[in-house]
Amino acid sequence: MASNGKSSERQRIAQQRLRIIAGHLRKQEEADHIEIAAQECKAESSRTDTAKPNSVPKRRQEIMKWNGWGYSDSKFLFNKKGQAEFTGKRYRLSGLILPSLKEWFEGTFGANLQHKSPAAAALNAGAVPPPNLSESFVEELKATDIPFSHDAEDRVFRSHGHCLHEIFGLREGQYGRCPDMVVWPNCHIDVVKIVELACKHNVCLMPYGGGTSVSSALECPPEETRSIVSLDTSQMNQILWIDEKNLTAHVEAGIIGQDLERLLNESGYCTGHEPDSMEFSSLGGWVATRASGMKKNIYGNIEDLVVHIKMVTPRGVIEKSCQGPRMSTGPDVHHFILGSEGTLGVVTEVTMKIRPVPEYQKYGSVVFPNFQQGVACLREVAKQRCAPASIRLMDNEQFQFGHALKPQVSSMFTSFLDGLKKFYITKFKGFDPQQLCVATLLFEGDREKVLQHEKQVYDIAAKFGGLAAGEDNGQRGYMLTFVIAYLRDLGMDYYVMGESFETSVPWDRVLDLCRNVKERIVRECKEKGVQFPPLSTCRVTQTYDSGACVYFYFAFNYRGLSDPLNVYLQVEHAAREEILANGGSLSHHHGVGKLRKEWMQDAVSSVGLGMLKSVKEYVDPDNIFGNRNLL
Amino acid sequence: MASKSLCSRRDPVLKKRDDFEDVLEERRNSSDLRYAFKCYAPVLYKGLSPCTPTMLKTVVLQSEPLQYAINQVSAESGESVELVQEEAAAILEEMAHRLKLSTVRFFAFTLSKAFKRLFHSVCVNEEGLQRLQQAIHEHPVVLLPSHRSYMDFLMMSYILYTCDLKLPVIAAGMDFMSMKFVGEMLRMSGAFFIRRSFGGDKLYWAVFSEYVKTMLRSGYAPIEFFLEGTRSRTSKSLTPKLGLLNIAMEPFFKGEVFDVSLMPVSISYERVLEEALYARELLGVPKPKESTSGLLKARKIFSEDYGSMHVYFGSPVSVRSLAQGRINRSQYNLVPRHIPQKPSNEIQSFVNDTAYQLVRMQEENMVLKPWVLIATVLMQNLDGMELSQLVEQTVWLRDLARSFGAFLDWPDHTSSSKVVSSSLSLHRNLASVCGGRVCLLVGRPPGPESPETALFERAVSVLSCASYRNQILHVFLRPALLAVAMQAATSPRKDEVYNCFSFLRNMFSNEFILCPGESVQDFDEACYLLMKCGAVQMLPQGIGTTDSGRVTLPYLCAMLEPFMQGYQVVCRYLCEETTDNLTEKQFVPAVRSFAVKLHLAGSLRCYEALSSDLQKNALAALLRLNAVKKVKMADQVVLKVNKMAVNSLEDTLGGKIPTQKPVLARL
Ligand SMILES: Cc1cc2nc3c(=O)[nH]c(=O)nc-3n(C[C@H](O)[C@H](O)[C@H](O)COP(=O)(O)OP(=O)(O)OC[C@H]3O[C@@H](n4cnc5c(N)ncnc54)[C@H](O)[C@@H]3O)c2cc1C
């Protein structure tokens, strides 16, 4: 039977696709297991034939950390022997020993395993300020049957994103202003009801998707006197339909990345949108922040991927009347929604482009003698418009960092740096191990084209002194991006605090910007009394025709500082000033939130800001969506 | 505020300075040849990518900014791009240095011999060199020495070589190139040559600025140039030139380097080699062309004793720190960086302020010898004085200078009279002691003696002596301006005195280094210093003179008197003598002969009025104050004088008009 054949073909592709995702995301078999198990447990009625996923329970704290990154069962720690290991079963690194991490960690930060700075053990519900509820709102909400809670744990969980200062505060047991209650709408209509009630009772609403914001977007404005209601979209998580003729899928905005991909994969499709936070971040969050996925070179960024958006605002529902692929109907109203950061309303449903799952996927890596050569190569690749699905260039520090995450192999007793030197001096003659840097690559498509493409890219790389360095190095590079947030928690256990931030910049300024920002961080840390030189590193993570996206990590040992958080905030502030002074943008994809608001006017001019304000004033005159981001 | 970060103004006296070491000492005790062939392995810039002088030229010629300029020039002139490219290559060829270690070693050898004959000692602050070494490692460095002598840059390179520091490349004037051999030798020791004027020449400018910037960006070597642009003939610091400093800072503004370190260096000579030459030049004897044979004739120089010299490497100034909060670097975001942009007002004033601050830092670290004090005293006693009186006044002045924070090198364990007499003996060509009286020596004019030639010879010795006094003027300048202002003000009220002060400061800001916009700070500093030395006190009714002030203040006034008079002479000339067609070229000789006339008639005793330096500065001030205007007529520049304005400035300087406000208002 033709149709049967087709569906089994589809299943085959889906299986393959799953393996691919598992490849850079999680441990293969267990991952399948867990999710299948989770799905079986889920006993809710489904509105499509696809089973409703349940990766995100209402009580998130049951599977996720309330004061750190990710799943509760997964974390880095130094075991009794002083070796680093990663716990749990979810990831490829799970259960493995990382013999080099300790040396790298101590050497890089001057940290010491004897000096611990553990987090507060458990959430102290008594210390959470009591909720400020609007009785009338609660009364009417009850009548709608939409689930809600004002449990302290639920509220604290939704009082923050994942900026360093937010997590650091939680670890110290400081809770700040929390939402007064949480509501879990199940669908678009629920949202319409909630927004109506909020307007009626003058309650402040804050949309909450995956909670992965890194711009202070989810922080409750301390000056807000109204009752704040966190609108958790996690239960609006279904794929409502798939249109194979036009290759689109209509999806509820609360779905998180990994579920969306998994469910689409089952039908042989994918969106290809893979931000590093895709395990937790939501479709609505992507739209609201103008997110960018690692494979944007093939699939595009979120603004390229959306075909239709439905958003509930205090003025009513905004959506376009058709799904035409492009329109000339004045300024694109989608662009008021994309990047609105929860200030205008709740994105409830999105029609997204989908693609058949690629047949073949291959990692790769290239080692360059130095960062300049690497950047020149990426620029050339962008010029020839032959960038693979993903191409990223790590600087030397990050390359070393990546190496420190190599799981246990036989040569247990050689020190990390020695091993590194030996390997690279023998393998890449003439490359200085303190200078070389590595580009990681991910190719996708049909097998033949991938191999062809691969050759093209390696040929270009060779012109810039780049030498192919294997799939393994490439894959480890991508793994790093998924575990880096877990590593930050480990650092914080030992007096090391760190953060990442990003920008976009024209090609000709990439090198200057990278050098100056890294150096500025080092300088600022020194001036602010940080005892040990910080880790200050960057990578070029995206290429465009006219420029690139650059991502920075910085981390430092804060022992001996009386107010480490303040030092950190000042350094980050200085780094952003440096970025702007060097022609970088305020943000490529993290958004503005409240963290970068002070620069917004400079970034878009006062007229530009005025335009945005006037939209806000029209759409939400009473500031119901009062998270005070952006403007 | 930028000025605050540069140097603490409130109490210059507390400024701590490093100790010196004599770099010649070792030369006197060990082989010069071995020294010349020593291992030379200086610390380099951490971000350096190794590059030869030839590679450097290629990089410059292929650079985007230069290619852009070449295309533009080609489009404008209609010449082919290839032709313009060749022109650019030729310009670069003429300009570029060809630093060669072998030449440097040759210089190290010969200069050792020369310096040992010329100088007792060459004292350098070791700590400054350490700071420099660190700075070179961290960031591109710009070395900014003061400029009093041709010796300056030879000496700089000599010291850096001796102390195993990275040798600089030096921006030198093209005039050297007329001495074929010497020019090439200098080129091979790191000099690169710039034409004196290339105002409108786009291509030249592009080659030049790209050459400098390329070296800077890559941290190739420290770049050395003279902020003052040329050797000061008067020993006063000159108003800084901004062109090169602008170029040197641009890579920072555009984010091409993280920072640039500016390092002021103060070079002071106990006896300036060119001393008498300068005085003659100021009086209108054309300067001898720098020809090789001329330099060789200068061999006679070697038979003389030039005492000691001091080189003080100041603290590196970070352009980044200075610009923090003042310059918005994102102004460069919207235009590709290889396209030249006219500096914004913000940038221009920043560069200007920085240049002034740097020159002041040079001034502050100039070492002053006892002779400088002696010359200052002699300048107020041109008819000669008793030796004992000279000693007494010199000591008095020394103590005053010390209390103002002067960087004096006065021998500690020697009696004052001995100090004075040994200074007099070193400078026996300028002053002589005869029967217990000290007077200036006046040479005999060549040819028949006439009143005019006699005047001329006397002026030579007075101006030579004045150049030593000038070395210390920056120490006394602000208090002296205050002293004059107090004398001129109609009441001791602080605001009135300030008005006078500010007028004078404005008038003389081409004559002395007075940072633009810092009138109030300067006034405060002057008040502070005069109170500190007990000359004035703050009373409810204003600034009051104390008993000791009745000696100090007139002394300070007298120090400025030649300038007050000189400016009045210039004003008088412009009011009384000019016709409508005074050209700019005629100005200096015309004022000079006017001054000569006054001298011969006995109505003028001031010799500075004869100095072209003062005359030009006065004119610059009048132009700045709009009392005189330049008008282009045919191919001449003519000076249009607003006689009323000039007249009233003259009256104000002469104390005939008490308050300056209305004058300025009218201008
Ligand atoms: C480890 C890590 C890696 C990351 N990697 C990437 C990356 O590769 N690419 C990238 O683009 N970002 C990345 N981010 C940032 C973050 O994941 C994105 O901003 C993401 O889009 C936020 O989605 P979320 O669902 O978590 O939104 P949340 O954090 O819950 O909310 C973010 C903002 O969007 C608003 N919002 C959320 N949902 C809705 C909705 N349905 N309607 C209206 N407003 C809504 C919220 O009010 C808030 O202002 C990363 C963050 C972390 C911590």
State pLDDT tens for residues B161-186: 999 999 999 998 877 666 778 888 89
Identify which of A218, A283, A289 to mutate to test ligand 1's pocket (most ligand atoms within 8 A of the CB): A289
Do the domains spanning B96-364 and B561-653 agree at the CATH topology level?
Answer: no
Alpha-carbon distance A160 to A215, whole Å? Answer: 10
Are A509 and B330 in contact (CB < 8 Å)? no
Average pLDDT over residues B236-261: 96
**The three-state (H, E, C) secondary structure of B163-230, written as one string:** CCCCCCEEEEEHHHHHCHHHHHHHHHCCEEEECCCCCCCHHHHHHHHHHHHHHHHCCCCCEECCCCCC
Give all domains of chain A, ordered by start, each with its CATH number: 239-356 (3.30.465.10), 495-589 (3.30.300.330)
Say if residues A58 and A232 touch (Cβ distance below 8 Å).
yes
Tokens of A104: 């790298």
Q: Is the pLDDT of residue B1 over 50?
A: no
Say if residues A257 and A279 touch (Cβ distance below 8 Å).
yes
The one-character DSSP state at B286 is P
Return mean pLDDT, chain B: 90
Mutate to test the interface with A, among B320, B329, B332 (most CBs of A within 10 A): B329
Domain spanning B561-653 has what CATH number?
1.10.10
Cβ contacts of residue A473 below 8 Å, gap of 6+? A365, A367, A402, A438, A440
State yes or no: A290 annotated in a binding site: yes
Confidence of residue A33 (pLDDT cuts 50, 70, 90): very low
Average pLDDT over residues B419-429: 93
Of B256, B328, B336, the CB nearest to A512: B256
- CA of B222 vs chain A CAs: smallest distance (Å): 20
pLDDT for A603: 97
What DSSP line would sit under B393-429, residue for residue? Answer: HHHHHHHHHHHTT--B---TTS-HHHHHHHHHHHTTT
State pLDDT tens for residues A538-561: 999 999 999 999 999 999 999 999
Of B258, B336, B337, the CB nearest to A516: B258
Maximum Cα–Cα distance for chain B, whole Å? 77
State yes or no: A95 annotated in a binding site: no
Backbone angles phi, psi at A311, to 5 degrees: -135, 135
Identify which of A91, A213, A301 to mutate to test ligand 1's pocket (most ligand atoms within 8 A of the CB): A213
Backbone angles phi, psi at B13, to 5 degrees: -65, -35
Query: B528: exposed, middle or buried (C-beta count within 10 Å: 0-12, 13-18, 19+)?
Result: middle
Average pLDDT over residues A23-47: 36
CA of A258 to the centre of ligand 1 (A): 14
Q: Is the pLDDT of residue B19 over 80?
A: yes
Count how many Cα atoms sit within 13 Å of the Cα of residue A287 in the half-sphere of its side chain.
34
State yes or no: A48 annotated in a binding site: no
Confidence of residue A42 (pLDDT cuts 50, 70, 90): very low
pLDDT for A425: 57
Cβ contacts of residue A138 below 8 Å, gap of 6+? A148, A181
State yes or no: A289 annotated in a binding site: yes
Q: A185 or B449: which carries more pLDDT confidence? A: A185
Q: Which of A172-186, A612-626, B641-655 has the lowest mean pLDDT?
A: B641-655
What pairs with residue A256 in β-bridges?
A: A282
Q: Find the residue in B nearest to A579 (Cα).
A: B330
Alpha-carbon distance A356 to A16, whole Å? Answer: 12
The one-character DSSP state at A533 is P
Tokens of A164: 């360093």
Confidence of residue A49 (pLDDT cuts 50, 70, 90): very low
Are A509 and B336 in contact (CB < 8 Å)? no
- Chain B residues in contact with A509 (beta carbon < 8 A): 255, 337
Average pLDDT over residues A52-72: 89
CA of A293 to the centre of ligand 1 (A): 12
* pTM for this prediction: 0.90
Confidence of residue A9 (pLDDT cuts 50, 70, 90): low
State pLDDT tens for residues B94-130: 999 999 999 999 999 999 999 999 999 999 999 999 9
Helix (H) / strand (E) element for A250: namely strand A248-252
State pLDDT tens for residues B287-313: 545 545 455 455 666 778 899 999 999
ipTM over 0.95: no
- Show which residues of A are catalytic: 551
Confidence of residue A349 (pLDDT cuts 50, 70, 90): very high
State pLDDT tens for residues A445-458: 999 999 999 999 99
Kindly state the percentage of chain A with pLDDT values over 90. 80
Are A509 and B332 in contact (CB < 8 Å)? no
Alpha-carbon distance A272 to A301, whole Å? Answer: 9
Say if residues A386 and A532 touch (Cβ distance below 8 Å).
no
Does the CB atom of residue A218 touch ligand 1 within 6 A? yes
Are A581 and B329 in contact (CB < 8 Å)? yes
Question: What SS3 class is residue A237?
Answer: coil
Kindly state the percentage of chain A with pLDDT values over 70. 88
pLDDT for A11: 62
CA of B173 to the centre of ligand 1 (A): 61
Domain ranges (residues) in chain B: 96-364, 370-470, 561-653
State yes or no: A342 annotated in a binding site: yes
- What is the amino acid identity at position B27? R
State pLDDT tens for residues B520-572: 999 999 999 999 999 999 999 999 999 999 999 999 999 999 999 999 999 99
State pLDDT tens for residues A94-137: 899 999 899 999 999 999 999 999 998 889 999 999 999 999 99
What pairs with residue A550 in β-bridges?
A: A503, A540
Mutate to test the interface with B, among A372, A516, A520 (most CBs of B within 10 A): A516
pLDDT for B448: 76
Q: Is the pLDDT of residue A40 over 50?
A: no
Residue A401's nearest CA partner among A271, A584, A536 is A536
pLDDT for A469: 86
State pLDDT tens for residues A490-542: 999 999 999 999 999 999 999 999 999 999 999 999 999 999 999 999 999 99
Question: What SS3 class is residue A411?
Answer: coil
Q: Find the residue in A nearest to B47 (Cα).
A: A515
Q: Which of residues 322-381 of B touch A (CB under 8 A)?
A: 328-330, 332-333, 336-337
- What is the amino acid identity at position B16? K
Does the CB atom of residue A288 touch ligand 1 within 6 A? yes
Residues composing chain A: 631
Rg value, chain B, Cα = 26
Residue A104's nearest CA partner among A398, A489, A498, A394 is A398
Are B258 and A513 in contact (CB < 8 Å)? no
User: Which CATH code, of 3.50.50.60, 3.90.1300.10, 3.40.1130.10, 1.10.3720.10, is assigned to B96-364?
Assistant: 3.40.1130.10
Average pLDDT over residues B338-354: 94
Are A516 and B255 in contact (CB < 8 Å)? yes
Identify which of A24, A187, A205, A212 to mutate to test ligand 1's pocket (most ligand atoms within 8 A of the CB): A212
